[in-house]
Structure 1
Amino acid sequence: MTERQTVRIALYQPDIPQNTGTILRMAACFGLSVDVIGPAGFSLTDAAFRRAGLDYLEKAALVRHASWEAFMAERAERPGRLVLSTTRASQTHAGFGFAPDDILLFGRESSGAPEIVHAAADARIRIPMVDGVRSLNLAVSVALVVGEALRQTGGFPPA
């Protein structure tokens, strides 16, 4: 059986363990990998994820990176665009053309992504929202973008 190629999720220094746990659970359900780029605002140990309610940890394809530099060094060894989800983008996620080897990158809940991350991104996308609101919950944002990427690329698991 050949492994299907599908998008990856990358979380830049996440702050809230429950959001990360929810994202890891969703990724496990869809057979996706998640890169967690540290330092995070919480412990990245298996025990800490279990305390956050992640009972799918054994099924999640989790890759921990100690730093942005460590993530970028590993990224250099695999294909795919780095697609940053940010409120500062002009292109919407629904209007963007995703590819199966894209790495979908999301910033911190508290402060988003710094300039060094923006500069490294191959593309930037945003989720359109009504005026006067700040942002969506991180796990909700990831689900929206991942859902669109999987729809476009045929990356959902077989029914």
Structure 2
Amino acid sequence: MNKEDQVISGFRQLYNKLVWLNKDKMEESLKGFTSSEVHCIEYIDKNPDSNVTQLAESFYMTRGAISKLTKKLIEKGLIESYQKSDNKKEIYFRLTEQGKEVNQIHNDLHKEFQERDQVVFEQVTEEQFDSILSFVDRYSRHLDEEIKKLGIDKKSE
């Protein structure tokens, strides 16, 4: 296996291990909510005035899929839609109090997992972090260009 394959395989293995380690606690603490719902709530919390287009682009989903997801979240009382007085055409989302509670549980779990794994990150030098982050950014930009080459316009879906 060459180094490129090792890197990709390593990313997959890390991701799969994280999911496996965190899964039971996440499912227990966030019972009744899907991963997509929780991550949509997290996005809305971190990005004020979120709309369907922004959510679709962020999650690499169609606007139709996001519309279904946000409708479920509204029905569950986790988010609410609103319009700005200067733009009656666009619909935005914000968290309800219940949505904020779910998001706080999610944040607390991430903090717990981060503390569990801190022992590894304490050993990483600034230079190593910079190198890793530079690679991840470069690879992400490459993948963005490949997506563009396919002619996929996330806004039109």
Q: Which has the higher contact order (CA 8 A, sep 6+)?
A: 1
Larger strand share, 1 or 2: 1
TM-score, length of structure 2 as denominator length: 0.25
Larger helix share, 1 or 2: 2
